[in-house]
Structure 1
Amino acid sequence: MLGAIYIGLSGMNAFSRGLQAISNNVANLNSPGYKASTVSFSDAFNIGGLGSSYSGRNNQFHGAGVRFGAQTIDFTQGDMRQSGGDLDLAVQGAGFLVLSRDGRTYYARTGQFAVDDAGFISLQGSDYHLNLLNASGQATAINIDQLRTNPPSITRNVSFGGNLSTGSTEAVISDIAVYDARGTRHVWKVTLKPSDETPAVPNKWSVTVTDETGAVVGEEQSLQFNLAGDVSDPSALTFSYESENGEQIDVELDFKDVDNFSSGTTSTIRVASSDGNGVGTLTGVTITEDGHVKLTYSNSKTEDLGAVALASFRDPQALERLGDGLFRNNGAPAGLFASKNDGMGTLVPRQIEASNVDLAQQFGDLILVQRGFQASSQVVSISNDMIQQLFGIRGQG
């Protein structure tokens, strides 16, 4: 009977721990990235020896109650929830985000990230740095402090498009931005007029370029169009100027996409594209749909820092929970990959993976645990009553 009490107590202890696991799952119903723990139990047997239990002569196995089984982590996918952060990130499918802090590596399924004061992309309110894949395929944290400025680029080519009307007496393209090596912005104006050569040459136009001070850049040059309205060779004209540091810079004006048709006195010639830019300052850090970190600058330039690293594990159950949605592994992951590669999941920017706790499952387990605890307590109570009856037996004189 004493053995029955201990067995009943083992049940009460195991079901209490089961209740604790269920309570933790339910409490984390709204914790981003939380993975539910499974509740399981296992039987316990002693081999040989009667102990406090009675056994028949041919029975050497003695029931010793129940144990709370090893908890496993349910890694099924949680729902994706839209968020407003440019650096919020979740994994749809297999894989874990790779984070680092103080030389150690950690893993997460989702996170809300921001650029911290040290210049790293980190989990908000922490110093867990998001890792990207470097050129060697290794995961490393990227500091963007040295990338807050985008260098200037010299303007070498300006392309034009549209129609230069044969009936126009002048066509002017203003506010053409031209940048030198220091990022200084010059504003050019291109003026096209029918050639005044004598004798007159049909469909020939003179091209003059002036800067923001009104000074003429280079020498006047000419464009010739054929009867089909296409520009003849050369279709590009080169104008040179001297920058602030004394360097001579050649800028090619490309007119190959300009037509020469009659459209009255109105021409629609315009700048189609131009290279070069001034100095840019960092205006945004985002994660693209293909899982790359992109920097955006005030000069409209962008820079791709590389792919966010995803880690795969042969046995995710070996991961150790640390709280805050983080995991740790004693060894190296099976591999490091980019989004969508080699059977990995897809990185989903501006979304957070919700907890995968199934309330219906948890409440069902809760009822079973409660009934098990109740039944075990009844065994203890009845065993105690039987012992009390034994103590009440009086010998007959």
Structure 2
Amino acid sequence: MLRSMYSGIAGLKGFQTQLDVVGNNIANVSTSGYKKSRVAFQDMMSQTIAGASAPTDIRGGINAQQVGLGSQIGAIDVIHTQGNRQTTNRTLDLSLEGDGMFVFASGTDADNFALADVNLAYSRAGNMYLDNNNYIVNANGEYLVGMNEAGNVGRIEIPPTASSFSIQGDGTVNYIDGNNQTQIAGQIMLAKFANPGGLEQIGSNMYRSTVNDGMIGVDGIPTLIVPESEGSASIVSGALEMSNVDLAEEFTNMIIAQRGFQANTRIITTSDEILQELVNLKR
């Protein structure tokens, strides 16, 4: 069989994956905190027909002769660039300006806990809510992690007697008590990663730590960082970070993937026609 036919099949698989990635990006163009992905291709191994030879006194060197055997997916990268800010004027809508991620915990009902004892997930999506017990949670019901009123790592509770509350750029959560006095309910903390592209996407705008994310912490447990310190992000209350998907770029990538897919089908068709001519030689 012809090598070109198998190269065409490899190309079809690669461009189909690229179309899948582009389609997912476009589907999440309005998803808060979503980070777009891209596909990087690399060539497969090449078949060596003739090896290279060194130059001699009477003859120059000769390069190797190799035929490539197609392409394959080299990487699917998640691009963690800053998304645009959308103003909502809702206090519990939080946007991060800079590096870092919100930390969420599940698997506990304690106000104070050790990070090693709970299930942790990370996100840039800042649409927060108050649950029935007045704790700050995300859309999945996971607790937003920070330093609570007692100064311990845990859930952040806004007392039901509070008449209003606000969130500062450094994550401090203030509220007005029944005596019209300003009190501190806690402080939202962040996690930072040297390689956020190494995080694993687990759906619902959430990420999970891996061995290659460059987490600032020890043994998979993050070191919580105060917003606006150590180069971490500032928190903007009343706004959401939108998806960083660029529709013009995605539609261009879709056209490239479509044409690449079509070109590889032509390779297969042409190879088939050549094989048909070879079969017809016996007539």
Shorter chain as denominator, the TM-score bin is: 0.7 to 0.9
CA contact (8 A) 1:291 1:349 kept: no
Equivalent residue, structure 2, for 1:130? 144
Superposition pairs of residues 254-293 of structure 1, within 5 angstroms: 281-293=161-173
The separation in 1 between residues aligned to 2:232 and 2:51, in whole angstroms, is 59
The separation in 2 between residues aligned to 1:31 and 1:57, in whole angstroms, is 52
Q: Does 1:99 align with 2:104?
A: yes
Cα distance, 1:62 vs structure 2: 4.3
Instruction: List per-residue Cα deviations over 1:38-70 (Å, max 9, x = no partner).
Output: 12211101456xxxxxx4577675422111231
Superposition pairs of residues 39-54 of structure 1, within 5 angstroms: 39-46=39-46
AA at the equivalent of 1:339: P
273, 278, 282: which one aligns with 1:385: 273
Superposition pairs of residues 369-384 of structure 1, within 5 angstroms: 369-384=257-272
CA contact (8 A) 1:45 1:63 kept: yes
Equivalent residue, structure 2, for 1:333? 215
Cα distance, 1:80 vs structure 2: 0.5
Can you give the 5+ residue segments of structure 2 that lack an aligned partner in the other structure? 53-63, 108-117, 217-222
Instruction: List per-residue Cα deviations over 1:170-210 (Å, max 9, x = no partner).
Output: xxxxxxxxxxxxxxxxxxxxxxxxxxxxxxxxxxxxxxxxx
Instruction: List per-residue Cα deviations over 1:142-173 (Å, max 9, x = no partner).
Output: 344xx44xxxxxxxxxxxxxxxxxxxxxxxxx
Instruction: List per-residue Cα deviations over 1:289-325 (Å, max 9, x = no partner).
Output: 4421122223212211232101111211111112222
The separation in 1 between residues aligned to 2:69 and 2:45, in whole angstroms, is 5
* 1:337 counterpart SS class: coil
Superposition pairs of residues 1-397 of structure 1, within 5 angstroms: 1-46=1-46, 55=49, 61-102=66-107, 103-124=118-139, 126-133=140-147, 139-144=153-158, 147-148=159-160, 281-330=161-210, 333-334=215-216, 335-394=223-282
AA at the equivalent of 1:92: E
Can you give the 5+ residue segments of structure 1 that lack an aligned partner in the other structure? 49-54, 149-280
The separation in 1 between residues aligned to 2:41 and 2:150, in whole angstroms, is 46
AA at the equivalent of 1:115: L
Q: TM-score, normalised by structure 1?
A: 0.59
The separation in 1 between residues aligned to 2:91 and 2:105, in whole angstroms, is 21
- Seen in structure 2, the aligned counterparts of structure 1 residues 359 and 137 have a Cα distance that, compared at 3 Å, is farther
The separation in 1 between residues aligned to 2:119 and 2:17, in whole angstroms, is 32
CA contact (8 A) 2:151 2:186 kept: no
- Seen in structure 2, the aligned counterparts of structure 1 residues 139 and 317 have a Cα distance that, compared at 3 Å, is farther
Identity of aligned residues (%): 31
- Root-mean-square deviation (CA, aligned residues, Å) is 2.3
The separation in 1 between residues aligned to 2:190 and 2:170, in whole angstroms, is 13
- Seen in structure 2, the aligned counterparts of structure 1 residues 293 and 44 have a Cα distance that, compared at 3 Å, is same
Instruction: List per-residue Cα deviations over 1:245-265 (Å, max 9, x = no partner).
Output: xxxxxxxxxxxxxxxxxxxxx
AA at the equivalent of 1:35: K
Which structure carries more helix by proportion?
2
Aligned residue pairs total 254
Equivalent residue, structure 1, for 2:112? none
The separation in 2 between residues aligned to 1:60 and 1:135, in whole angstroms, is 71
The separation in 1 between residues aligned to 2:276 and 2:30, in whole angstroms, is 49
* 1:32 counterpart SS class: coil
Q: TM-score, normalised by structure 2?
A: 0.82
Q: Identify the range of structure 1 (69-78 vs 287-296) with the bigger mean alpha-carbon deviation.
A: 287-296
CA contact (8 A) 2:89 2:238 kept: yes
Cα distance, 1:128 vs structure 2: 1.1
The separation in 1 between residues aligned to 2:164 and 2:215, in whole angstroms, is 32
